[in-house]
Copies of this chain bind each other. A is one copy, B any other.
Amino acid sequence: MYRIGELASSFKVKNDTLRFYEKHGLLTPSHRSESGYRLYTEQDKKILSFILRAKTVGFSLADIHELLSIEVDKDNNACADVKIVVDAKLEEVERKIAELSHFQKSLKQLSDACCGGSGSAAQCTILEALESDINNLRPEHHHDEQE
């Protein structure tokens, strides 16, 4: 059993964050001590890890809540209902990956086109691209001065 401070610090979040998640129904500690301290189990810890990982990839707390709370009306749902939610999230993740990959490609092009030298940025291909057309940049550039 972890107390709030232990669990929070092991994930580098604030105690307040855990209380906030509890208030919003995302993670309720499985136990309380006699004096009212929150006591988190290994299972609670796994849920927290799930929440934080989902968050870092762009799910909102509402999304996460939806995922976690299917659990609750388990008996009023079929496998199909559960799977639909997961598949929707999966699609969302895949869309995000596609967008990120697109963006990565643009940035990579920008980066590759720039010499990275010490010459003035006035001739920098990256800046030229930003000025003129982000999606259609010249592949090379050179400086007249030393680099």
A: residues with CB less than 8 A from B are 43, 46-47, 49-50, 53-54, 56-58, 67-68, 70-71, 74-75, 77-83, 86-87, 89-90, 93-94, 96-97, 99-104, 107-108, 110-111, 114-124, 126-127, 130-135, 143, 147
Bound together, the chains give a CA A116 to CA B96 distance in angstroms of 24
A107: contacting residue among B93, B108, B114, B117, CB under 8 A? B93
A74: contacting residue among B77, B102, B118, B124, CB under 8 A? B124
Dominant SS at the A interface? Answer: helix
A90: contacting residue among B57, B89, B104, B135, CB under 8 A? B104
- Shortest distance between the CB of A12 and any CB in chain B (Å): 16
Oligomer copy total: 2
28 contacts between A and B (CB under 8 A): A43-B133, A46-B133, A47-B134, A53-B103, A54-B103, A57-B99, A58-B58, A58-B96, A68-B130, A70-B130, A74-B122, A74-B127, A78-B118, A79-B114, A79-B119, A79-B123, A79-B143, A79-B147, A81-B121, A82-B124, A83-B111, A83-B114, A83-B124, A86-B126, A90-B107, A90-B111, A97-B100, A97-B101
